[in-house]
Structure 1
């Protein structure tokens, strides 16, 4: 008599357990070996902004391996990786007299094709600390920063960057971010040709963005374990109540 009722109650309890939604884990990189497409539209030559487009496929692992990163990019061990995304977009240039200069950028950030989790753009005017590059999550949180470090890894691609937070939200996934890395870049460099003042061009690029918190804090896995422990305790209490009747 009690067994079917117990099974029904346990099923209902499990159905209501959504740790990914509770802790925003759906915005983090996936925890298993996962293949997904960058679906880049990055030019094969020096940023001509059109033609010669291709797709890039990358294997993502649950471990955040920085062993191949330049030493100038690697963050201290005390920093916690909050999340990381792949990105596809454009580097936007304007001609100052006869030379191209970076004006802004636009990109979609994702962990799987078709699932845009955040946007990258530049503020129209710098914040009070001079920051313009901005990342905004679907949860409404955002972080703006200023470039601290540039490292050229591939002369045909935009540099890898370390961006220090200058302003942003106090809550949400980006509310805890202090440093943003732009790594694994493909394409995006300015055209090598001369230009006319005021002329603009958008050059396709792709990259990965890694978001770090200076506060080690409590990891998502610890939170997940804690939530699972609470669920188990609740189920045990339920069993005791049922069988004591």
Structure 2
């Protein structure tokens, strides 16, 4: 194979990857965006999720790692920072200051050790800018982010652990 063929294969695979990053046909039904919407922005969130060892709800004497909140940078497909993701509540904020929160509608299992895929119905955006018109947000292509595997016991109750993660966040708008 010559260098031109190799370069074309690489470029073509990148282009196909970007075009299919939000292909609905390959996703579990629970996290598909309803018809009548189109992609307005694709980002890659790179960051961390904090968990805290706490008493298990309604189970006296037992403890578990509990989600505290995320903190991530949202990058465009070229790797340029375009916003941030933080919470609670889950908030996606563009560099222009506009931001959106939402309500989780569904999750679907991802690979072992990865956060589940997620579909969020967006609330109306705050501020004018990039987040105006967002109707749905999908979390896809997740890597990492699940609760720690270390022990959560009465002895370390109250301690926090930070777990790294990455996920694609796809923002949709009504057509």
Q: TM-score, normalised by structure 1?
A: 0.57
Match of 1:148 among 89, 98, 105: 105
Q: Distance in 1 between matches of 2:21 and 2:167?
A: 18
**2:96 equivalent in structure 1:** 139
Higher relative contact order (CA 8 A, sep 6+): 2
Q: Distance in 2 between matches of 1:186 and 1:105?
A: 14
TM-aligned CA deviation for residue 118 of structure 1? 0.9
Q: Distance in 2 between matches of 1:181 and 1:93?
A: 22
Structure 2: 5+ residue stretches without partners:
1-10, 56-62
**2:47 equivalent in structure 1:** 89
TM-aligned CA deviation for residue 155 of structure 1? 2.3
Q: Distance in 1 between matches of 2:150 and 2:97?
A: 39
1:176-197 per-residue CA deviation (whole Å, 9 max, x = no partner) reads: 1121110110111111232222
- Superposition RMSD in Å: 2.3
- How many residue pairs match? The answer is 154
Structure 1 segments (4+ residues) deviating >4 Å: 32-36
TM-aligned CA deviation for residue 33 of structure 1? 6.0
Task: Give the helix-richer structure, 1 or 2.
Answer: 1
TM-aligned CA deviation for residue 80 of structure 1? 2.1
**1:185 equivalent in structure 2:** 142
SS in 2 for 1:178: strand
Structure 1: 5+ residue stretches without partners:
1-31, 37-57, 124-131, 217-245
TM-aligned CA deviation for residue 59 of structure 1? 3.7
**1:173 equivalent in structure 2:** 130
TM-aligned CA deviation for residue 117 of structure 1? 0.5
Matched, 1:205 2:162: no
Q: TM-score, normalised by structure 2?
A: 0.79
